[in-house]
Amino acid sequence: MMQLYWSPRSRSFSSLWLMEETGQPYERVLTDISTGAQRRAEYLAINPMGKVPALRDGEATLAEAAAIAAYVAERYPQAKLAPPLGDPLRAKYLYWLFFGPGCIEPAIVQLATKLEMNPFAAGWGDSQRVIDVLDVALEKGPWILGDNFSAADIIIGSGLNFAVRVFKMVPSRPSFDAYIDRCAARPAFQRAEKIAAG
Ligand SMILES: N[C@@H](CCC(=O)N[C@@H](CS)C(=O)NCC(=O)O)C(=O)O
């Protein structure tokens, strides 16, 4: 059984939601970051960054929420969280999965900190560009790939939910509101929310 290392009210929400979407049993290993549990030697052996979430699957261990999403989607293909190899939709799936940590995360941090970066050199350009690209991509819906819900929605939906709704770091847009509502209506999201509340 996979073991998910998580902490309440943290980025591990996306991995909780992910595991709940699979319908597979998993063990939750509470790694409370408010107590410094993420800095213990046994946890650093799993994630040397000392951050949650992390996942153990037998001898395999990994961290980084989007990598965990990609890994779990592949391990449980029956959950249909990723377009299969050879499906043209897989290109956009990978694009959005990487867009989460590569562009959305730094854009949110930039909005929260007001840190100025050269948009030509910064990999995410600038926060306004990221928000505009996301707005257009989510306009039609229901999901980032259109009709197919995927692990990319778990990464992007979790990020937007925290940035727009929970912490109000990013001003909302109608497309964001409707998308977050659709994510939040999923039973797996709701189960994850209960767990993440601690
Ligand atoms: N890039 C990581 C970020 C994980 C992260 O920043 N986790 C925070 C909680 S939201 C954490 O563990 N902070 C504790 C610490 O840095 O000591 C991911 O996407 O999984």
Q: Which amino acid is at 10?
A: S
Cβ 133 vs Cβ 81: under 8 Å: no
Nearest to 162 by CA among 151, 152, 172: 172
Length of the chain: 198
Rounded to an integer, what distance in angstroms lies between the CA atom of residue 117 and that of residue 180? 28
How far does the centroid of ligand 1 lie from the alpha carbon of residue 12, in Å? 8
10 Å Cβ neighbour count for 197? 9
Cβ of 11 less than 6 Å from ligand 1: yes
pLDDT at 197: 87
- CA 36 to ligand 1: nearest atom: 17
Predicted TM-score of the model (pTM): 0.97
Cβ of 64 less than 6 Å from ligand 1: yes
Cβ 117 vs Cβ 110: under 8 Å: yes
Q: Could you give the C-alpha distances from 20 to 13, 47, 129, in angstroms and in order?
A: 11, 22, 32
Q: Which long-range contacts (CB under 8 A, 24 or more apart) does 194-197 make?
A: 195/6, 195/16, 195/20, 195/28, 196/6, 196/8, 196/9, 196/10, 196/12, 196/13, 196/16, 197/8, 197/9
Cβ of 101 less than 6 Å from ligand 1: yes
- CA 63 to ligand 1: nearest atom: 20
Q: 198 pLDDT exceeds 80?
A: no
pLDDT at 29: 98
How far does the centroid of ligand 1 lie from the alpha carbon of residue 36, in Å? 12
How far does the centroid of ligand 1 lie from the alpha carbon of residue 87, in Å? 32
Q: Which amino acid is at 24?
A: Q
Q: Could you give the C-alpha distances from 123 to 99, 101, 107, 152, in angstroms and in order?
A: 10, 11, 10, 19
The predicted-structure confidence for 84-129, as pLDDT tens digits, reads as follows: 999 999 999 999 999 999 999 999 999 999 999 999 999 999 999 9
The predicted-structure confidence for 164-189, as pLDDT tens digits, reads as follows: 999 999 999 999 999 999 999 999 99
Helix and strand numbers, DSSP H then E, in the chain: 9, 4
- CA 51 to ligand 1: nearest atom: 12
10 Å Cβ neighbour count for 163? 24
Residue with tokens 């941090």: 109
How far does the centroid of ligand 1 lie from the alpha carbon of residue 48, in Å? 11
Rounded to an integer, what distance in angstroms lies between the CA atom of residue 167 and that of residue 194? 18
SS3 193: helix
Protein residue whose Cα sits closest to atom 1 of ligand 1? 64
Cβ of 38 less than 6 Å from ligand 1: yes
The predicted-structure confidence for 43-60, as pLDDT tens digits, reads as follows: 999 999 999 999 999 999
- pLDDT mean across residues, the chain: 96
Cβ of 51 less than 6 Å from ligand 1: yes
Cβ of 52 less than 6 Å from ligand 1: yes
